[in-house]
Structure formats: structure tokens, C-alpha cells
């Protein structure tokens, strides 16, 4: 069982959002194409990434952690 929390806080507006997910997790072999798709959402095209990102995807020991949320993730607005 694992728990994952992602928070976002905008100090200018006071908006605070939190997503909490709990569930079973397993370490799985790296699917490079999937990892690239996910990283590209935040980092842009692969050719623009810092060297450490593509290098880590090509490491023989690279793995992914797969989490199956149970129950579904919860989004909370904790704004003030």
C-alpha cells in the first residue's frame, strides 16, 4: 500500500489544491515510450530535456512504479 500527494499552492491568489491517491503499487519494467510521453507533458520535447532525464531512461536498471488507486483519487480545494 502506498500514498501519493500532489499539492499546488499559488501564493498570489491563495489557491491551494491537493490530490491524494492511495492504493497498491508495484515496480514494473520501464516502458520507455510511456515514460517519454509522461515526461514530455512537463518537460516539453525530449530533445530539449536536461541530459540526466534521457540518460536515466536508458539505464539498464530503470523501472517504473505503477499505482492502482483504491478508491479513486481525491481532489481537495484547501484555498484560504
Does the pLDDT at position 47 exceed 90?
yes
**In the predicted model, is pLDDT for residue 72 greater than 90?**
no
Cell matching residue 39: 515526461
How much is the pLDDT for 71?
87
Asked if pLDDT for residue 22 goes beyond 90, the answer is yes
- In the structure grid, which three cell numbers stand for residue 66, read together? 505503477
pTM, full prediction? 0.65
Confidence at 57, pLDDT banded by 50, 70, 90: very high
pLDDT band at 56 (very low <50, low <70, confident <90, very high): very high
Task: State how far the alpha carbon of 36 is from the alpha carbons of 21, 32, 40, 56, in Å.
Answer: 23, 6, 6, 11
Cell matching residue 14: 491563495
Amino acid at each position: 500500500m502506498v500514498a501519493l500527494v500532489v499539492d499546488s499552492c499559488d501564493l498570489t491568489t491563495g489557491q491551494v489544491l491537493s490530490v491524494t491517491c492511495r492504493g497498491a503499487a508495484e515496480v514494473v519494467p520501464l516502458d520507455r515510450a510511456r515514460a517519454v510521453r509522461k515526461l514530455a507533458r512537463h518537460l516539453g520535447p525530449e530533445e530539449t530535456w536536461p541530459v540526466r532525464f534521457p540518460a536515466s531512461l536508458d539505464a539498464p536498471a530503470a523501472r517504473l512504479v505503477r499505482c492502482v488507486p483504491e478508491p479513486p483519487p481525491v481532489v481537495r480545494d484547501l484555498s484560504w
